Amino acid sequence: MSNDTPRANQLLARFPNQVYRALLPALESVELPLGRLSTGRYPKDYVYFPVTGIVSLVILTKDGGGAECAIVGRDGMVGTRSLVEGANGDALEAQVQTAGEAYRLDASVLRQHAKDDAAVQNLMTRYLHAIMVQMSQTAICNRYHSIDQRLCRWLLQCIDLISGPRLFMTNQGMADMMGVRRERVTEVLIELEADRLIKRARGSVEVIDPAQVRTRACECYDAITTRTAKLLPPLK
């Protein structure tokens, strides 16, 4: 299990000190295995604060299709639905794309602190808006930008959430998240590798020139990072 403290999650690191100390005994270290993450499968609803790994928030169709509308890692929290007491069902499914570790918290504990403390309430509201920023920008991105641009945007977002430049994910996994054919993802990755922007390996992609990848990404990466930083300024 991770040696990281819960503060390695940047959202937990933003909690007021006294609230963070009060939460510590209730934070449970858990693995985030690949696949669907059920936030409501246990007797209690939980929220998850990843410290490593990448979780996609996927919107599902009735016939089982899906497309990613936001990604969450050490910057955030999974299970925002649980902030609403008594809320049932969710069109969004959390899928772990890169396995990692998280701290899990009984959602009712977080709800109580949000009721009792205006600073926690404010933080949660800001975080929800940050997720909305990602979702709205992703909608625009899917409608207007090329697969090449979208893939570059997505690679940059992912490496911001992990400790190094190497992202462990298959081409099929990337294609599923983007809602495009695997062959097209492979073509774009081959082009990026030929231009020495990334290095491909089986089941992983290493971004070796993020500045150049940024020039190939659409405006959405900058839009998401800039608008998110206004809601949740980078930690010092």
Select the residue interacting with Zn ion from 159, 175, 220, 224 (CB under 5 A). 220
Residue 15, CB-side half-sphere exposure with 13 Å CA sphere = 21
Applying CB under 5 A, does 227 fall inside the site for Zn ion? Answer: no
3-state secondary structure of 223: helix
Residue 30, CB-side half-sphere exposure with 13 Å CA sphere = 17
Structure tokens at 160: 């911001």
Nearer to Zn ion, 223 or 231 (CB): 223
Applying CB under 5 A, does 32 fall inside the site for Zn ion? Answer: no
Nearer to Zn ion, 205 or 220 (CB): 220
Nearer to Zn ion, 51 or 58 (CB): 58
Interaction residues for Zn ion, span 128-147 (CB under 5 A): 141, 145
- Concatenate the DSSP letters of all residues of 138-207 into one string: HHHHHHHS-HHHHHHHHHHHHHHHSSSSEEE--HHHHHHHHTS-HHHHHHHHHHHHHTTSEEEETTEEEE
Structure tokens at 108: 């009712």
> What is the nearest approach in angstroms of Zn ion to the Cβ of residue 153?
5
Nearer to Zn ion, 108 or 142 (CB): 142
Q: How many residues bind Zn ion (CB under 5 A)?
A: 4
Select the residue interacting with Zn ion from 155, 167, 218, 224 (CB under 5 A). 218
Applying CB under 5 A, does 155 fall inside the site for Zn ion? Answer: no
Residues 6+ apart with CB under 8 A from 175: 181, 182, 184, 185
> What is the nearest approach in angstroms of Zn ion to the Cβ of residue 222?
10
> What is the nearest approach in angstroms of Zn ion to the Cβ of residue 224?
9
Question: Do 167 and 154 form a contact (C-beta atoms < 8 A)?
Answer: no
Nearer to Zn ion, 83 or 218 (CB): 218
Applying CB under 5 A, does 54 fall inside the site for Zn ion? Answer: no
Residue with tokens 């602190």: 113
**Which chain residues interact with Zn ion by CB under 5 A?**
141, 145, 218, 220
